[in-house]
Structure 1
Amino acid sequence: MKPRWKGKGFEAKASADPMSKIVSQLHSSLIETETCGLLSSCSVLVEVDAELADLFNRACFGRPRITVQKDKHWFQLDMEETFYLCFSLKCLKVIGEDGSIKSNEELWEYFKSKKPAFPISYKAYSHLRHKNWVVRLGLQYGVDFVAYRHHPALVHSEYAVLALPEGDDDLNGRLRVWSDVHCTVRLCGSVAKTLLIVIVNSNGLGASSPSCLEHYTVEERTITRWNPEQSREDQRGLQNQTNEGII
């Protein structure tokens, strides 16, 4: 399935301003400003100035929250987004409810308590982000994430992503029967997306600390519906050849 750009010239615009460059700019700005986020249940709130707000938007991290004060910009980051900025990019610090800055280990344990499958979902998220895909939550499609080639304002998402552990795991008991696969693939097809299964193998290391992530391995599999028309010979071409043979 080819990328579906939302307008003429958008592909060229995306090529001229690659996502890797935008994320690098966000990374530098967050380090320079020593930005901190506030832990709030299953998300983190970050107060930023107008310049950083623009970078958060362009890099597709978090979602802006409406405030009554015009000069204040707040972004709400999901757990995977927060940990990626803290652990992988090392450009964000998070302050807990007790007012102390949380270590990566403390955040890891906190996010696992809120979402037992967090180690698997985070590994899948970071795997795609490292490849410069824009990754957003995919709850509206019944999947974990959706992946975009560039900013969602420029292009439609190409993949609906499910993050699954290797083998049989009670945390993610999905796609175990054919009817699950059939329903998910049909849904993805109806919204013009390819189902991408990101299989994470912990290699028996468990998830006691975030350091185990470097030993996790990832396998990608795409599942699509078989279209018989794509496998048939051109009947009109065959008919023409037959007619020519008769003559």
Structure 2
Amino acid sequence: MKPRWKGKGSEAKAMADPMSMIVSQLQSFLIQSETRGLLSSCSVLVEVDAELADLLNRACFGRPRITAEKDKQWFQLDMEEAFYLCFSLKCLKVVGEDGCIKSNEELWGHWKSKKVVFPVSFKAYSHLRHKNWIVRSGLQYGVDFVAYRHHPALVHSEYAVLAVSEGNNDQNGRLRGWSDVHCTVRLCGSVAKTLLIVIVNNNSQCAISPSCLEHYTVEERTITRWNPEQSREDQEILENRAK
């Protein structure tokens, strides 16, 4: 499936402003400004100024959050987004309710307690982000994530992503039967997305700390509906023979 760009010139804009450069700019800004986020259960809140808000929006991290404080602007980061900035890019510090900066190990344990499959979902998220895909929540499509080639304002998402553990023994128990696969693929097809299964193998490493992630391996599989028309003889050849 080819990328579906939104409007004339969108592809050129994306090529002129690669996502890797945008994320690098965001990383540098966060490090220089020593930005800190506030831990809030399953997310992190970051107070932003106009420049940081623009960078977060361009890099597609978090979403603006409307509050009663008109003199302040906030962005809300999902747990995978926040941990990617903290652990992978090392450019964000997160403060807990006690006012102390949380270590990566503390954040890892906290989010594992909120989401049992966090190690698998984060590995899948970081795997795609490292490849410069934009990764957003796929809740509205019944999947973990959706992946964009560039900013969602320029292109439609290409992949609906499910993150599963090796052998599909994850706690969500998805895709265990043919009916699950069929329903998911039909849904993805109806919204013009390819189903991407990101299979995470922990290689028998206990997920007691984020250091285990370096031992995890990832396998990608795409699943699409079989189109009988693609298996038939070339229609053009048949028409020429008929003449």
Superposition TM-score tier, normalisation by shorter sequence: over 0.9
- The residue aligned with 1:133 is 133
Q: Secondary structure at the match of 1:152?
A: coil
C-alpha separation in 2, matches of 1:242 and 1:192:
35
Partner in structure 2 of residue 83 of structure 1: 83
Q: Secondary structure at the match of 1:171?
A: coil
Q: Is the CA contact (8 Å cut-off) linking 1:165 and 1:172 kept in structure 2? A: no
User: Aligned-pair distance for 1:69?
Assistant: 4.6
Q: How does 1:205-224 map to 2 (within 5 A)?
A: 205-224=205-224
Alignment TM-score, normalising by the size of structure 1: 0.96
* Post-superposition CA distance 1:206-246 (Å, at most 9, x none): 20100000110000000000111222223343132243xxx
Query: TM-score w.r.t. structure 2 length?
Result: 0.97
Deviates more, 1:219-228 or 1:71-80: 71-80
Q: Does 1:187 align with 2:187?
A: yes
List runs of 5+ in structure 1 lacking aligned partners.
Answer: none
How big is each residue's C-alpha offset from its partner over 1:151-176, in whole Å with a ceiling of 9 and x where there is no partner? 00000000000000001424131101
Corresponding residue number in structure 2 for 1:102? 102
Q: How does 1:7-156 map to 2 (within 5 A)?
A: 7-156=7-156
**Matched residue, 1:173:** 173
Partner residue in 1 for 2:204: 204
Indicate if the aligned counterparts of 1:147 and 1:158 stay in contact, CA closer than 8 A: yes
Deviations 1:190-218 (A, max 9, x none): 00000000000000012010000011000
CA distance in 1, matches of 2:196, 2:39: 31
- 2-structure distance, mates of 1:41, 1:238: 63
- Distance apart, 1:72 and its partner CA: 2.2
- Residues 168 and 174, structure 2, Cα contact 8 Å, conserved in 1: no
Deviates more, 1:223-232 or 1:30-39: 223-232
Q: CA deviation at 1:70?
A: 4.8
1:228 aligns with: 228
Unaligned runs of 5+ in 2: none
Aligned length: 243
| CA deviation string 1:97-120 (max 9, x = no partner) | 111100000000000000000000
Percent of aligned positions that are identical? 83
- Residue type matched to 1:57 in 2? N
Superposed displacement of residue 79, structure 1: 0.3
Structure 1 residue 36: Cα displacement: 0.3
SS of residue paired to 2:163: strand
Q: Cα gap change, 1:83/1:174 in structure 2, threshold over 3 Å: closer, same or farther?
A: same
Q: Computing the radius of gyration over CA atoms, which structure comes out larger, 1 or 2? A: 1
- Deviation by residue 1:50-93 (Cα, 9 ceiling, x = unmatched): 00000000000000012345542200000000000000000000
Q: Any idea what SS the aligned residue of 2:98 has?
A: coil
What's the Cα RMSD here? 1.1
